Amino acid sequence: MSLPVPNLDDRSFQQLVDEAKRLIPTYCPEWTNHNLSDPGVALIELFAWMSEMMLFRLNQVPDGFYLRMLNLLGIETFPASAATADLTFWVSAGQETASIARGTEIATSVSGNEDPVVFTTTEDLEIVDPALIRMLTSAHEEVFVDLTTSVQSGSATPLFSTNPLSAGDGFYVGFDRSLAGNVLELRIDATVQGIGIDPNDPPVTWEIWTGEGWARVAVHEDTTGGFNRNGVVKLLIPMAHEPLTLGQHAGFWVRVVLTRGLGDENSYRVSPVVTSIDARTIGGTVRAEHALLIGEEFLGISSGETDQVFQVVNRPVLERREGETIEVVDEDGVVTAWREVADFQHSSPDDQHFVWDDATGEVHFGPRIRYPQGTYRQHGAIPPKAAVIRTTGYRYGGGVEGNVGARTLVSPRTSLVGIAGVENLRAASGGVDAETIDNAKRRGPMTLRAGGRAVTVEDYERLALQADPSIARARCLPPLETGGSTRLLLVPNVEGHDDHQHSLDDFALSTEVEQRVQEYLNERRILGTSVAYGTPYFQGASVAALIGVLPGRPPEAVRARVTEALYSFIDPLVGGPDGTGWPFGVDLNAAAVTQLIADIDGVERVDDAVLFQVDVRNNNRRYGEAHDVLRLTDRALFLSARHQVVVR
C-alpha cells in the first residue's frame, strides 16, 4: 500500500471555536456571556474562520511537494487529442470537377452565443471527372473477359461468367485516372435476373485496388436492389487508389465481388444482367481534424543567452506534423529550421534543438548545466543574439468537444467554388481532453515502479494507454505458442453517441493510432519480444424483454429508460457492473439483465428477458436460439445490437 500522507492540522472551524471558548475562564474569568450575540464570541468565530483557511492551505504543502517531485521525475500530463472525421463534399449540379485545399475549415451549425466546433481538412482533395475505359469479368481473378463493347452497345450482359456462380466471382470497372477520395456514382440499367436475393442486402461487396491489395469501399447508396432494377450505386472511394494491370488492361479499378455462391442463403441463382453502365463523380471525401491551423507566427527576438523561453499565442498545441517546426532567422537573413526533441539530455552545444510544451505552448532552448566536478556544459545550441524566432506553423485544439455527431459539420468558413454542400456522414471520434492533475498523480507511482518498461501484462496495458490518449482500453494476452508474439488488443475511445448505439466500424483501429502505440512500445519492450496489435472480437448481444409498468407511469418513457439502461450496461466503454466498460471474457446472463431492468424507475415487473447472439459484421442479424447466458472468450467484448423492449 502507498505511504500515508499526513494531515498537518485537522481541526475544523467548530473545534477551533469550542477550544477558544474553553480557554475563556482561564484567561478572562470576568467574561461570562458566551452567547452568539456577544461581540467577543463573534470575534472568536472570525479568527476561527481565518485559522481554518490557513490550516487548509498548510495541508496543501504535502500535496504541493508531491506534485513538484513528479515534475522533477519527468511525470507530465498528457496533452489533448484531436477528434477526426471524414468530410464529404457534394459538387454542384452540372459541376464535373472541384478542389478542396488542405486546411479548409468546416464548422458545426450553431445558434445563439454558442461557439461552433471547427474542423480543418488534413490533405488536399481533387474531385475529378473520370472516364470509364474498361469493364471485365473474372472468376477468382484467373481469366479476365472483356465486357466493354457488350455493355456500351446496350446488349444484355451478365456480370458474372461462371455457372454455377461461386463466391469470389468479380466484375471490374476500370477508369483512366485515380478516384482517390471521390464519391463515384454508377448509373446502371439492369434486368430482373438476381432471383433469390434480399434486395436490401445483396450478396456482394465493392472494392478498389490500393496498391497493396483490394480494400473494401463503403456504399453510400444502392437503389438497384443488387442489380435487379435500374438505379444508381454511390461509392465512397478511400484516399488510396492505385493503377493495376488486369488481363493486359491497365487502369484504376473498382470491382464488385460475390460474397455467396449458388446454394448459400441469400445468393444469386443466375448472374444479374445489365444493359448499360455510366460513371461520374458527385463529390469527394477527405479526413479532417478538430484543430485550427496557424501559419507563420513571430515568437520574439533572441537575447543570445542560455535557457530562453518563448510562447505561441494559441494552445494547447497538437502534435507536430512534417513541416511544423521552429525557425531561427539571424541578422543576415539566413533561415535555419531547428529540430524538436523531447528533452536536452543528449543535446550537444552545436545541436540546434528545442523543446515544445504542448499544454503551455512554451518553446524552450537549451540550458547550461553545472556538473559536480565544477564544469559547465551547454545542452543544445543558443540562437544568435538579435535572431528572429518564429514558427513555420502549428495546429491547436482538441478535446472531447470535437466528438460531434453525424451530419453536424455542415458550415464552410469560406466559400467553396463548385461545392453545393458538405457533411460528415459518420460521427467524429478520437477527441480526448488533456489529462487531469489527479490522474497524473495516480499514474506517477505506477510509472516509477515499472521504470517505464513493458515487462508484465499490466505494463503493456498501461503503456498502451499512455501512448495515445484516443485509446480507451487495452487488453494484453500471452502468446498463443512458445516464442510467439504478445497480443495487445486496443479499444479506441468513441464519443458522440448519446444513446451508446455504437457500430462495429466505430471501434476500428486507425493506422495512425496503431503506429503511435507500436513506436511507443518499441522503445520500452524487452529486447527479443514482439507484439501483435489488433482489436478485440466484438460479440453482438441483443436483449428481448417483456415488462410491466407501474400504474400512472407513461409506458413510452419507461420503455425508453429501460432501452437506454441496456445500451449503457452492454457497452465496451461504459458498460459492465462498475461502469468502466464490459470486462473481457465475462459472460452475460439473463438474470443480471432482469435485475437491471427491475431496478429502473417505473418498472413494476419483468415478465421475461432473453438474450440473442447478433452478427454485427452482417447487418446485425440475429442467429441461433434465445439464450439465458451468452459466453465470451478472453479476447472478446460485448457490443449492443438493437434491443427490443415490449411493455404490456
State the number of CA atoms in the 13 A half-sphere of 233 facing the CB: 27
Contacts of 301 (CB under 8 A, 6+ apart): 386, 387, 388, 389
Q: Quick one: what percent of the chain has pLDDT higher than 90? A: 51
Average pLDDT for the chain: 87
Query: Whole-angstrom Cα distance, residue 645 to residue 648?
Result: 10
453-499+506-530 CATH: 3.30.300
Neighbours of 642 (CB within 10 A): 15
**Bridge partners of 257?**
170, 205
Q: Nearest Cα to 467, choosing from 502, 508, 504, 509?
A: 509
- Residue 411's pLDDT is 94
State the number of CA atoms in the 13 A half-sphere of 495 facing the CB: 20
Can you say whether residue 620 is alpha, beta or left, with left for phi > 0 and alpha for psi between -120 and 50 degrees? left
How far is CA 373 from each of CA 265, 344, 345, 369, rounded to the nearest angstrom? 81, 20, 18, 12
At 208 the three-state DSSP class reads strand
Do you find a cis peptide bond into 202, omega within 30 degrees of 0?
no
**pLDDT tens digits for 408-446?**
999 999 999 999 999 999 899 888 888 777 777 777 776
Is residue 607 very low, low, confident or very high in pLDDT (cuts 50, 70, 90)?
very high
Contacts of 272 (CB under 8 A, 6+ apart): 158, 159, 160, 190, 193, 194, 226, 227, 228
Residue ranges of the domains in the chain?
A: 13-58, 132-284, 301-384, 453-499+506-530, 537-647
Do you find a cis peptide bond into 158, omega within 30 degrees of 0?
no
Query: Whole-angstrom Cα distance, residue 125 to residue 99?
Result: 6
Can you say whether residue 5 is alpha, beta or left, with left for phi > 0 and alpha for psi between -120 and 50 degrees? beta
Q: What is the mean pLDDT of residues 18-29?
A: 86
**pLDDT tens digits for 238-266?**
989 999 999 889 999 999 999 887 777 77
Asked if 120 contacts 441 with a C-beta cutoff of 8 angstroms, the reply is: no
- Residue 448's pLDDT is 62
**pLDDT tens digits for 471-515?**
889 999 988 777 788 899 999 887 644 445 677 878 888 888 899
Cα angle 568, 570, 571; round to 5: 70
For residue 93, pLDDT beyond 50: yes
For residue 136, pLDDT beyond 80: yes
- Residue 495's pLDDT is 63
CATH class for domain 132-284? mainly beta
Rg of the Cα trace of the chain? 32
Cell of 372: 559536480
Asked if 256 contacts 204 with a C-beta cutoff of 8 angstroms, the reply is: yes
- Residue 628's pLDDT is 92
Q: What is the mean pLDDT of residues 315-326?
A: 91
Cell of 224: 438497384
Lowest mean pLDDT among 5-9, 207-211, 275-279: 5-9
At 23 the three-state DSSP class reads helix
- Residue 327's pLDDT is 96
**pLDDT tens digits for 531-563?**
999 999 999 999 999 999 999 889 999 999 999
What's the whole-model pTM score? 0.67
**pLDDT tens digits for 572-596?**
988 998 888 999 989 999 999 999 9
Query: Whole-angstrom Cα distance, residue 103 to residue 448?
Result: 41
The DSSP code for 412 is: E
How far is CA 290 from each of CA 13, 258, 430, rounded to the nearest angstrom? 48, 38, 10
Asked if 409 contacts 45 with a C-beta cutoff of 8 angstroms, the reply is: no
